[in-house]
Structure 1
Amino acid sequence: MAREVTPRYTVPGLTVEDAGSLIEVLQERLHSLNDLHLTLKHVHWNVVGPHFIAVHEMLDPQVDRVRAMADDVAERIAALGGVAHGTPGALVDGRTWKDYSVGRADAIAHLGALDLVYTGLIEDLRAAVKKVGDIDPATEDLLIEQLRDLEQFQWFIRAHLETAGGTLATAGATTEKDAAKQSVSR
């Protein structure tokens, strides 16, 4: 659903057109963060196996931080004069990716799938940083901070998937299910 993103007013020093461009990028980020925290909780509830407790407990701080990131993005949208669309329907209508595809599964399988989720999210976030960088350093700073945290979370996940020789179990996987399968069979 296309929504009007050009606000009637914005922060000093930005045009409403530039603010509209920022709001559009931030809305995409809001959808991705809301989707991520729900996906992380899904994994938290559906992880099984010998690594259960380590993964189960590792994910809650990530969920909390990702929820805080979503709040920061929504508040930046509002500060720019926009409307943060955070309803489930807006998320489903606005996302450009498929729903997480792994149900109840071994901890390592979920971590393999999450590695691909984080890769896609981080790639999209890096592109967003580039888009906003020439327009607004405050929005760029917000996204860069989130990028650092998300890269760290992926590192936590990849530490479970990496061999001593530095190879990732998910190397070459193109779907979450493939990554999950490769991770368990290594």
Structure 2
Amino acid sequence: MNRERIGTDLQDTLIELTDLALQAKQLHWNVTGPTFLSVHEQLDALTDEARAGGDAVAERAVALGQPADGRVAIVAKETPLPEAPDGRLPTAAVVAHTVRVLDTVIERIRTRIAQLDSLDLVSQDLLIGIVAGLEKQRWMFDAQQA
């Protein structure tokens, strides 16, 4: 088992899920518009999902003897995600941004799922479950753009 390689995949996923959770909460506080309440609550659900996934990924890395680093400075430095816009935002802008961020996270984790196929099926399974939840979240946000 290549624990360092697996640890790198898990660390990268932790960075993305931590940033996703922070962005969802930021957007949750600043969303405005006629569908405010539903988007506000949906962002809370996304925050919870990203936090739970990040926690599971970090614990898996540590169980494999690899460090997990979710410090704010590290997340800010290493995240590949587009930055959340600042200020008060209409629901349409929040939904569009959230879909873009989810697309990025899902695509990157799916790449890791493929890589983990020959490295660690347990970590792969963990990421498959996380992606399933994120894809459901993406579907619910994307449906609001129709």
Q: TM-score, normalised by structure 1?
A: 0.76
- Higher RCO (CA < 8 A, seq sep 6+): 2
Match of 2:21 in 1: 37
Deviations 1:108-152 (A, max 9, x none): 211011111111111101101011111111000000000100000
| Matched residue SS, 2:12 | helix
d(CA) in 1 for partners of 2:100 and 2:109? 14
- 5+ residue gaps, structure 2, are none
Match of 2:68 in 1: 84
Give the Å deviation of 1:96. 2.9
TM-aligned CA distance change 1:97 to 1:160, over 3 Å: closer
Q: Would you say how many aligned residue pairs link Structure 1 and Structure 2?
A: 146
Matched, 1:148 2:135: no
d(CA) in 2 for partners of 1:93 and 1:161? 31
Match of 1:184 in 2: none
Give the Å deviation of 1:33. 0.3
d(CA) in 2 for partners of 1:106 and 1:67? 24
- 5+ residue gaps, structure 1, are 1-13, 163-186
TM-aligned CA distance change 1:85 to 1:25, over 3 Å: same
Contact 1:51 1:108 in 2 (8 A): no
| Matched residue SS, 1:101 | coil
| Matched residue SS, 1:84 | coil
Match of 2:94 in 1: 110
Rg comparison, structure with higher value: 1
4+ residue runs of structure 1 moved beyond 3 angstroms? none
Give the Å deviation of 1:70. 0.5
Identify the match of residue 59 of structure 1 among 36, 43, 62.
Answer: 43
d(CA) in 2 for partners of 1:93 and 1:54? 32
Please say which of residues 86-95 and 138-147 is displaced more in the overlay.
86-95
RMSD over equivalenced CA pairs, Å: 1.1
Contact 1:118 1:154 in 2 (8 A): yes
d(CA) in 1 for partners of 2:115 and 2:87? 35
Q: TM-score, normalised by structure 2?
A: 0.95
The amino acid across from 1:136 in the alignment is D
Point out the structure with the larger helix share: 2
Give the Å deviation of 1:86. 1.1
Percent identity over the alignment? 34
Identify the match of residue 119 of structure 1 among 95, 100, 103.
Answer: 103
The amino acid across from 1:75 in the alignment is E
